[in-house]
Amino acid sequence: MIIIILDLRVAGIIIFGIRGIIMFIDIRITYIIIMNCVNRLIYYFYFIITKGISIVHHISYFICK
């Protein structure tokens, strides 16, 4: 993964010069932002699923009791 990123950076410098470096940094920043959003969504889904399961478990426990 690191090798690919370095290749992209080198290719960006060769093809676009300074603009290529800036563009590459922009891509990395947007990637980081997107990953943060995805991680947050996964965390929320995980929280909802675990809470939902625990609620269902409690309800079924009371019904069976």
- Give the mean pLDDT of 34-43: 80
pLDDT confidence tier of residue 20, bands split at 50, 70 and 90: low
Q: Give CA–CA dist 36/41, Å, rounded.
A: 9
Is the model's pLDDT at 17 over the cut of 60? yes
Amino acid letter, 26: D
Q: Give CA–CA dist 11/59, Å, rounded.
A: 59
Short-list 42, 5, 49, CA closest to 24: 5
pLDDT confidence tier of residue 28, bands split at 50, 70 and 90: confident
